[in-house]
Amino acid sequence: MARYILRRLLSLIPTVLGVTIVIFLLLRLIPGDPAVAMLGEHAAKENVERIREQLGLNRPLFLDREALRQGDLRRFLDSQYIRYLGRLLRGDLGSSIHRRIPIAEELKQRFPATVELALVSMAIAILVGLPVGVLSAARHNSVLDHVSMVLSLIGVSMPIFWLGLMEIMLFAVFLGWFPVGGRLDHTFTVPTLTGLILLDSLLTGHWAALADGLKHLAMPALALATIPMAIIARMTRASMLDVLQADYIRTAHAKGLREQVVLYRHALKNAFLPIVTIIGIQMGNLLAGAVLTETIFAWPGIGKWGMYDAIVGRDYPVVQSVTLLIALVIVFINLVVDISYAFLDPRIHYE
């Protein structure tokens, strides 16, 4: 197991390097010039060139062939990508082109908000989707099975932006149960230990802030959990239906074991591998795809700031840093899922 984990960690090096190349290249294929975006379309040409010089946008993308022919190794390596890679190796993510703020500081403030939203959304999806899938499989072709699968199909098909707006109209505007957006009311101050409002409130015993944080988190978490909840329910049902036909399930029933014991201790345990896989995939999707949810509920995460605003403004350093961070998190989640297989199924051994 240790050798497998070490081998997977070493395999991250070419993976991350490939991700940096793809991100770097694709961003620069997008039409538009960051210097023009900063100064405006009617800016003087000399001002645009000056900004391009300051940002290093007038250098070659990868390697300077002319410098290579002249034998100037220093200028040959003085390209946009080499500089970007060098800063990454030093742990320097650079600064935002527009705001002139270190990206690492922005990520330190915003990434915990996205992580908290994704974790709570996934918890809701698992707590609801898993039992629904198990009950649908146990009551195959019953009314409960058909209703749950219809609802899960609606959940997969429902646009998040529409669901979020309906939640705001019903629960915030009409009923007034929850706040419209944000993470915490401005009257509360919670010491920053982990950056996760709920966890920090628990650790510091700030129960009023914990309750307020849950109220702010309820609507965006429910909206974001809808699709993974439906997918987990459908995957659990399909996996359970295969397992429930096995001989050892019939034997367990013949021995007189209770239905709950057969379903959850025997059937679900052996049907859990594909469910764990889909949970890992959906967790990565939640971290990378919360742009609409964060925009609708004014959630101060990395979604809207790092994916939408930065792309529209051609803020290359921000987009590169956020995309690289999400890629690393997804790779780590896949590694955890692979390792969990050996614990869930003793027949799996990693050589």
Contact 17, 327 (CB under 8 A): no
pLDDT score recorded for residue 64: 61
Look up the pTM and report it: 0.80
Binned at pLDDT 50, 70 and 90, residue 120 comes out as very high
| 253-283: pLDDT as tens digits | 787 778 778 787 777 878 888 888 888 888 8
pLDDT tens per residue, range 146-160? 888 888 888 888 888
The pLDDT score that the predictor gives to residue 283 is 86
CATH architecture of the domain with residue range 106-344 = Orthogonal Bundle (1.10)
CA-based nearest residue to 227, from 166, 289, 158, 276: 158
Domain ranges within the chain, ordered by starting residue: 106-344
